[in-house]
Amino acid sequence: MLRLADVKEAALACGFDACGVARADALTDMEYALKEWIAMGWHAGMDYMVRNADKRMDVRLLVEGAQSVVCVAKAYASVLPEGATNHVARYAFHDDYHKTLRDGLYNMAKLLGVKGKVCVDTVPISDRHWAQRAGLGWIGKHTLLVTQRWGSWVNLGELVLTEECDEYDTPLPNGCTNCNCCVEACPNGAISKQGKPMIDARRCVAYNSVENRADEWNEGVETNGYIYGCDCCQEACPFNANGVADRLPIKASRLHEMQMLEQATEEQFRTMTQDKPMNRITYNMWQRNLRHTQTNNKQNNEKNQS
C-alpha cells in the first residue's frame, strides 16, 4: 500500500507543483455532465468524446483493477511582457506539455517503485475532473480546473495505479459559485450561464482553432484576435489575478517566434512547432485560422468606423 505523503513527495521531486490522490471510483453525472453535453451536440466534431465516454466516466474500464488515480499539476508562465499582443493561448508559448508531464509521471512511478498508466490529454480520462476529486482545485464555469495558488494556468496529468493508498485527498469547495466573469468574457457566449459547467464547442474559439478539422470555422465565431486557442475566459478569472509573483513571464524570444509563424512557410511551420503544443494542428489549419482572424478583424474595424 502506498503512503499519500510519499506520493506527494515524489511528485515534488519530479518537478510537479501540486499532487493529489483520489480513489478510482466512477465519476458521477453530477461531477461530470458528459452525457448531457454530448446529447446537446455541444461536443461539435469531437467524436472521440463519444467513442470513449464510458472510460472517461469510469477509469476502471481504462485500467483493469485500478484503485488509485494520482493527479499532478504543473503551472506554466502566463504573464505577457508589457505591450505584447496575445495571438495564441498562453500554453502554446511553451514546450509541449505532453512530453514534460509524461516524462515526469514515468519518473514518479519509477521513484515510487510502481507500474501504472501514464495519462496526459490523449488518453480517454477527464484530467480536470480527477484533479478536482483529488483536491487540486475545482471546476470553474469555463470548465477548466481552478487552483487556489495558480488559478487555471496549469497543465494536468495522471498516473492510474492498481495499488491502494493509505488515505485519499478531499475535494475543495467550489470557489466560483457567485462569479460569472468567465461567462461574460467569452466573445461568443459559448459558456453555459446556468447549471453544470459546460461549453458549446461550436462557438468556442479554442475548439474552432485547434480541434475543428473542417476547411472553415463555424459561422459567426468572433476570434477576439486569437489565431490558436483562446484565453478570454482565463484572463477574466479573478483567481488568475492572484499569486502573480509565483508566475514567470513568457520569454520574449517565444513571443518573437509566434510573430514569425504568421509569415512561415509550411516547412518552417512544421520545424518551429514540432516540440510545441501547436504541433497538434496542420499547416493548412494554421492558414485557415489566419484567414478567419484577419477577416474577423477587418469586419470589426469596418463596424467601428461606420
Q: Which residues are catalytic?
A: 121
Q: Residue 233, class by beta-carbon neighbours within 10 Å (0-12 exposed, 13-18 middle, 19+ buried)?
A: buried
The interaxial angle of helices 97-112 and 4-13, nearest 10 deg, is 130
Category of 151 on φ-ψ map: left (φ > 0), alpha (ψ -120 to 50) or beta: left
Instruction: Tell which residue, 271, 290, 183, has the closest CA to residue 228.
Output: 290
Report which residue type is found at 294.
Answer: Q
Contact 174, 142 (CB under 8 A): no
Instruction: Tell which residue, 289, 150, 288, 167, has the closest CA to residue 230.
Output: 289
- What does the radius of gyration of the chain's CA atoms come to, in whole angstroms? 20
